[in-house]
Amino acid sequence: MQKKLGRIFYGIEKEKKYFDAATKRIKNTKIIEDDYLDALKNNKSKPRIPFGSLVELGVIKPGTQIYDQKKKINAKIMVDGSIKYQKAEGSIHKVAAKILGAESCNGWTYWYYQSGNSLKPIDELRQRLRPNN
What pLDDT, on a 0 to 100 scale, did the predictor assign at position 97?
Answer: 96
Give the DSSP letter string of 103-125.
S---HHHH-EEEETTEEEETHHH
Distance of CA 59 to the CA centre of its chain: 20
Q: Which residues pair with 21 in a beta bridge?
A: none
* Distance between CA atoms of residues 119 and 86, nearest Å: 21
- pLDDT, one tens digit per residue, over 63-86 is 999 999 999 999 999 999 999 999
Mean pLDDT, the chain, rounded, equals 85
For 51-56, what is the mean pLDDT? 91
How many Cβ atoms sit within 10 Å of the Cβ of residue 107?
21
Residue 5 has pLDDT above 70, yes or no: no
What pLDDT, on a 0 to 100 scale, did the predictor assign at position 3?
Answer: 47
Of 42, 66, 67, 69, the residue nearest 54 (C-alpha): 66
Percentage of residues of the chain with pLDDT beyond 70: 80
For 21-29, what is the mean pLDDT? 83
